[in-house]
A and B are shown apart, each in its own frame.
Chain A
């Protein structure tokens, strides 16, 4: 039974990390109808920021996540101003292709600047630390990242559902013209939403170098899983993203251990296909 608990716990912790990566994407997609293909690359940039801060200035990921979050917020805001703004209201394919181009550009800039080398931060505060709970081993870096994820996802939920700004965001998402007639500056809302989406994935990326290697390809699979989560949870639903992420983390861990490790992504993407076939809007889609 200990192994079962261990597998479930690993799945939940991974799921929470996925939720943090996906929540920003969900927000952008739900509010702006923009598919940010560069989301995984934003995660990669955040990891590099945390890595270099750790490598050069010995800043631990426990602190550098703030810098990563702010940095990717700015990158995302800049992306909106320079690229996305010109695609809003146009066919969805235009923003998708634009962000795909951005993803390629970011990946190749990092490849040229930092080489494809895998970089690991050694001697981080949490590095290699574990908690023993009965027979279950809890990896501290993963636990802390998971707790951060819960807090950030929770705060994002509160922001959207319990504040005037959040209501403005929801109003913009539901009917842009009506929101403008009510005096909401929708351009500014879009800018903020894109920045917030970046900040969420920035925070996730800032925490991850405490246990994962950084390299230009690191965001690719995380980005893909984030898309699956958003589609399963429902476009724009933060609660849906959290639920879908936890489900995916659990399915990945349980199928990986009880069926076969090589089967885990088959199960994840198989589940996604089933959900999309039965309920194309996802669990809690707007």
Chain B
């Protein structure tokens, strides 16, 4: 009897220990940790927080059943045979060194499978270097520096159009305005923040302008977070270019617009890279002053008819942002990045990095949250299906003006002077 009791106790202990050890192991195996790396504080914090909310929205679609939403993976719960994504958030404050160390922390200590991020090109560059060295994924939504996908990285993938693509669009628009509106656009000026993003945008802008015979007459870099932009705008005003290409983020964009108004000067056309121009909150704050500026736009609620699947996803997103806002061009790309990685894992049927990377490169992905509707990657990780439209802000609303087959409004060229608004 004693023997039987002894064996039962040992058996129970083994079962209990197995249960205690086994359950968390299984649970842990069923979680894919993904890091988000955005500027949650600092001058781009608002944009960073919206990007983070966008990733969380995509994870909500992946982890739970949303059969009413027409987005891949929304109709089932989790990935593979029941894996759920768990997010680990990090703040890079807009600083490259912080971004690099946070990427190392996410991979080494948090053991994340991939990082989604990181808005600022200047941060994406060193942070994605960390990922590449560890042979782990860096999914980049909206950082636009063309240099990022020219490094030949194998584990780096970027969803948004680059500033190279946008620069080419800008000069196409100038040519079209000259031909159809007799706009007389001949000279170009550039104003840009002195960072990885701004400098590369300006380089691409200068190259595109020169290639199409436009003369670059003003080249104005500035330090982000300056107390004033008087010298910068004064320099532009003195050179008086017909068109200004702008690469100013957040508060610098508002300061630039306000300073132009103070100096009673406007170019005929102002075209902006993915900057403060695309930020709906900044647009609202600027009120009438925001009108008649143009820029590349990958998404805006005004695009609803072109991207019908977004509306339902946007409702989830709005609940995750405070104050509640719709997607913007930048934030929506982060959801796309998350969904594409998830689709690749699902299709590959494994979490093995080599297999998933190969799958990402070899397939064209359905992406209803992208303007182009599809995502496919060139070597180096650039999404070759990335698209954006040129919009112009009219009465606080992003109007589509180019290309013509997707346009819904005639552009106002030259921009209406400050005094006549």
Contacts and interface: CB of A to CB of B under 8 A. Distances in A.
Interface of A: 3, 6-7, 10, 14, 111, 115-120, 122-123, 128, 130, 137, 139, 141-142, 211-213, 215, 217-218, 220-222, 225, 252-253, 255-257, 260-262, 264-265
A7 B221 contact: no
A3 B234 contact: yes
Contacts of B286: 120, 122
A23 to B, nearest CB: 17
A252 B393 CA distance: 33
Contacts of A212: 255, 258
B287 interface: yes
A188 B380 CA distance: 67
B42 A115 contact: no
A256 B258 contact: no
A118 B228 CA distance: 15
A212 B229 CA distance: 11
Contact of A118 (B220, B235, B251, B322): B251
B364 interface: no
18 contacts: A10-B234, A115-B45, A115-B323, A116-B42, A117-B46, A118-B250, A120-B286, A123-B287, A128-B261, A130-B264, A213-B258, A215-B43, A221-B225, A221-B226, A221-B227, A256-B234, A256-B235, A262-B223
A256 B225 contact: no
B251 A215 contact: yes
A116 B41 contact: yes
Contacts of A252: 231
B282 interface: yes
A222 B221 contact: no
B222 interface: yes
Contacts of B3: none
Given A120-B285, A215-B43, A257-B231, A139 B262 contact: yes
B234 A7 contact: yes
A6 B261 contact: no
Nearest to B220: A261
A130 B254 CA distance: 18
Interface string B40-62: 01110110010000000000000
B231 A213 contact: no
Nearest to A123: B287
Contact of B262 (A7, A211, A261): A211
B184 to A, nearest CB: 24
Nearest to B45: A116
A139 B258 CA distance: 11
Given A137-B262, A213-B255, A265-B223, 19 more contacts: A6-B234, A111-B45, A116-B42, A118-B281, A120-B254, A120-B258, A123-B287, A128-B261, A128-B262, A128-B418, A139-B262, A212-B258, A218-B251, A221-B226, A255-B231, A256-B231, A256-B235, A261-B221, A262-B221
Going nearest first, the 7 A-B pairs with the smallest beta carbon separation are: A256-B231, A116-B45, A139-B262, A261-B232, A120-B285, A118-B251, A262-B221
Contacts of B254: 118, 120, 213
A111 B41 CA distance: 8
Given A116-B41, A139-B262, A217-B42, A253 B225 contact: no
B20 interface: no
B230 interface: yes
A264 to B, nearest CB: 6
B49 A14 contact: no
Contacts of B263: 137, 139
B194 interface: yes
A265 B232 CA distance: 13
A117 B48 CA distance: 11
Contacts of B231: 7, 10, 252-253, 255-257, 261, 264
A138 B286 CA distance: 21
A128, A222, A253 interface centre (most CB from chain B within 10 Å): A128
A158 to B, nearest CB: 28
B21 interface: no
B418 A14 contact: no
A128 to B, nearest CB: 5
A10 B235 CA distance: 13
A128 B264 CA distance: 9
Contacts of B221: 260-262
Nearest to A138: B262
B27 interface: no
A261 B285 contact: no
Contacts of A218: 251
B238 interface: yes
A213 B264 CA distance: 19
B226 A217 contact: no
Nearest to B421: A128
Given A142-B262, A257-B235, A220 B225 contact: yes
Nearest to A13: B230
A215 B44 CA distance: 11
Interface in B195-226: 220-223, 225-226
B230 A213 contact: no
Contacts of A119: 285
A217 B223 contact: no
